Amino acid sequence: MKSSCVVLGVVLATVGCGTNDTDRAYPIGFKQSVTGNAAYVTIGNVWNEGDALPLAETHCGKYGKIARFNRMQGYRAIFDCVKDT
């Protein structure tokens, strides 16, 4: 039992190590999915649009656009990629 607790502690302490912070909204837990194109982006596995915004901005920025929140669908935040005016 004691060794199981030690192993669990080591695993929990290293969760997220070796990952790129730009593709995560949270330091521990499920990785977010980023799906979209030049017109929109959907960020999956997020609690709210604020948590997803940095990932959406990165995606839309690849097309010279900014992310504008559209709606939440369950644990997915959907953004439109629009030209900055």
* Domain annotation covers residue 7: no
> Is 51 part of a structural domain of the chain?
yes
Phi-psi region of 80 (alpha: psi -120 to 50; beta: other; left: phi over 0): beta
The total number of structural domains in the chain stands at: 1
Domain with 69, as residue range(s), is 19-82
Is the pLDDT confidence value at 20 over 80? no
Residue 61 lies in a domain: yes
Within-domain flag for 55: yes
pLDDT digits (tens, 9 = 90+) for 34-77: 999 999 999 999 999 999 999 999 999 999 999 999 999 999 99
Q: Does residue 25 carry a pLDDT above 90?
A: no
- Is the residue at 28 inside a domain? yes
In a domain, 6, yes or no: no
pLDDT at 5 over 50: no
Tell me, yes or no, whether 11 lies in a domain: no
SS3 21: helix
